[in-house]
Amino acid sequence: MTSRVVVEADGGSRGNPGPAAYGAVLKDAASDEVIAEDARTIGVASNNVAEYSGLVAGLRLAVEHAPGAEVEVRMDSKLVVEQMSGRWRIKHPDMQVLAAEAGEVAPDGTTYTWIPRARNAHADRLANEALDGVREGVTVAGAEPAPEEEVPDEDSLIEEIESPGAARGDQPRDQAGHRGWSGPSAPPTTLVLVRHGVTRHTAAKRFSGGLGGDDPALSEEGLAQARDTADWLTGLGERVDAVVSSPVRRTRETAEVVAARLERTVEIEPGFAEMEFGEWDGLTFAEVAERDRAGLDAWLGSMDTPPPGGESFGTVRERVLAGLDRVLAEHTGRTVVVVSHVTPIKTLVAHALGAPLEAVYRMELSPASVTVLSFYADPAADGAARGSMRLYNALPPGERATVEPGRW
């Protein structure tokens, strides 16, 4: 029987608060061998709540799989370690509840140690795998995992794109009983939407529009993000009919990396360019608020009001949906990788879900993230396509989201 065990735990929120998950791993302290792992999504929560949830899960692993063992908890959250050690007060109500639960679960004598983030990579990876939809539940070393708890291989994203019913249960049906809003003989056209990697404007949280703005290149970090996402998409192989890009520089550079990995050329679709921000291009949200508060309030208050010299959300929707129609007509029934921007991707998601355009204010989208939409021909609507969302704002396993709070 193991006499000493280590619990490593972490949690993360893409949006803070936003979609959140935790990861926890139980190891033998002497051999460093993994005894059990747990990774789960917890809905919308803050980073701290996700971290505390990971702690509780890790302690439960210790109680169940190493009863009577001495437990050391290692986390990269200074807040959780100091609070659980009794040195810092716990003020947030949600964390008070979770800390009390952790205290009840923890075996007598449990100790808490802060470690650098780099040394907590295992738990961090588990949390991100849960957020990416490729991991959910407990895995015990040496045990045969249940089908729903198996850790997918590198093709997990491909399976989600090509056959979501196999991974998530039955697909939705319309009133006529058709799966995925389509007739039984009509294959969907699937768009694998990739947001470009970061630029200097992304890092500084500056408005960065289409061809009418500064048109910055990808930074080194942005190129690395593009390569990671391209590697993740490699398994699509010949399923991809085309790689389509906005004409803007940062999307073209991202698309070229993806296309090279998929052995495709890049097609340009001007409808998928970013919103033009006119006089606000290159400014931060705070700078715009200081210089043009009335204009900013008008823009935020109406989907049909543009920034000075720019485009409104309504105008962007018109050209994005025109671009969508062209892609659907050109690549009917096939899979297409589309490299675009925040506003066009959010617009396509709202359209696919039948949501009002104002829904773009309620979405966060990380650089180099992947969103998957399928469009099915709807004979009842004179051939118009109806949409279904299969994946949203997913990142390659191990990558942490870097959302941009306060953009809109």
29-43 pLDDT tens trace: 999 999 999 999 988
Is pLDDT at 182 greater than 50 in this prediction?
Answer: no
Poorest-pLDDT segment among 97-111, 245-259, 306-320? 97-111
Residue 355 has pLDDT above 90, yes or no: yes
pLDDT of residue 370: 93
Reported as a pLDDT band with limits 50, 70 and 90, residue 205 is: confident
Q: What share of the chain has pLDDT > 90, as a percent? A: 60
Q: How confident is the model at residue 403 (pLDDT cuts 50, 70, 90)?
A: very low
More confident residue, 266 or 157: 266
Q: Which pLDDT score is estimated for 313?
A: 96
pTM, entire model: 0.58
Q: Which range has highest mean pLDDT (31-40, 149-158, 202-211)? A: 31-40
Mean pLDDT of 219-246: 90
How far CA 79 is from CA of 8, 22, 49, 106, 129, in Å, comes to 15, 16, 11, 18, 24
Query: Which run of H or of E encompasses 65?
Result: helix 47-65
**Contact call for residues 372 and 189 (beta carbons, < 8 A):** no
User: What's the pLDDT at 150?
Assistant: 41
Q: What span, in angstroms and rounded, lies between the C-alpha atoms of 385 and 291?
A: 42
User: Which of the residues 37, 196, 253, 341 is marked catalytic?
Assistant: 196
Which pLDDT score is estimated for 349? 95
* Contacts for 397 with CB less than 8 Å, ≥ 6 apart: 125, 128, 129, 132, 134, 232
> What is the 8-class DSSP label of residue 277?
-
Task: Name the token pair of 100.
Answer: 């009390």
274, 276, 311, 364: which is the annotated catalytic residue? 274
Q: Judging by beta carbons within 10 Å of its beta carbon (0-12, 13-18, 19+), is residue 104 exposed, middle or buried?
A: exposed
The verdict on whether 274 is a catalytic residue reads yes
pLDDT tens digits, one per residue of 101-145:
899 899 999 999 999 999 999 999 999 999 988 888 899 987 654
Q: Is 354 exposed, middle or buried (0-12, 13-18, 19+ CB in 10 A)?
A: exposed
196 is annotated as an active-site residue? yes
Question: Residue 9: pLDDT above 50?
Answer: yes
Closest-CA residue to 105 (of 139, 136, 40, 61)? 61
Whether residue 168 is predicted with pLDDT greater than 50 in this model: the reply is: no
* Mean pLDDT, residues 59-87 taken together: 94
Report pLDDT for 143: 63
Confidence of residue 94 (pLDDT cuts 50, 70, 90): low
Please tell me the predicted confidence (pLDDT) of residue 198: 92
pLDDT one-digit tens code per residue, 388-397: 888 899 888 7
CB 212 within 8 A of CB 399: no
CA distance 258 to 245: 10
